[in-house]
Amino acid sequence: MQDRELTHIDPLGRARMVDVSPKEPSHRRALARSRVYMSPETTSLVAKGAVNKGDVISVARVAGIQAAKSTSGLLPLCHTVLIGAITISFDLKDDYIEVEATVDSVGRTGVEMEALTACSVASLTIYDMCKSVDRNIVIGEIALWEKTGGARGPYRREKDVQQSGDRSSVVSEQGRSNPGAE
């Protein structure tokens, strides 16, 4: 494990907001993904637009966008970020829907939390809209897949996240394998 300090803890062990004001603004991008597992019948209803609550994909997209914009209000030590663009996309498979959120900004801090929040809330929205027809829905594999910008350079996950918690697929900044990463 790399020798790094926790940035949101002061010398006395108290939570603090990190001072990003000395940093130079740069273009930041983050991409996160999640999966919403459901029965093939439920996925088919979503694809046909036949869920009683309405158009699941459209509502989930708007919910994800709204959530990304609200991230600093949900996470107490997360900076408010001026977001330049948010894209939420969906890939319907036989027994799951993959949600992908990309967030772009020019600023002094990254947008990983905004992308992860967008994915999470879009997934929760899918769950909420489909729960009346499928009580076995599972949300999983919420993970950061890519980030660019900032002093530490790009990050890219190379493999699927394992539901079992297997962290052998985690890749650190600069693309080096880091099995013990947190």
**Structural domains in the chain (count):** 1
What CATH number corresponds to the domain at position 87?
3.30.70.640
Question: Domain range spanning residue 54?
Answer: 26-148
Residue pLDDT tens, the chain, 182 long = 455 677 778 888 888 888 899 899 999 999 999 999 999 999 999 999 999 999 999 999 999 999 999 999 999 999 999 999 999 999 999 999 999 999 999 999 999 999 999 999 999 999 999 999 999 999 999 999 999 998 888 999 987 665 444 444 444 444 433 333 33
Rounded to whole angstroms, the Cα distance separating 141 from 46 reads 20
Residue in 57, 19, 32, 6 with CA at minimum distance from that of residue 113: 32
In a domain, 46, yes or no: yes
In a domain, 164, yes or no: no
In a domain, 91, yes or no: yes
Give pTM, 2 decimals.
0.84
95 is catalytic: no
In a domain, 155, yes or no: no
Residue tagged active-site, from 128, 134, 160, 166: 128
User: Considering Cα of 37, then 45, then 120, then 136, what sign does the dihedral take?
Assistant: negative
In a domain, 181, yes or no: no
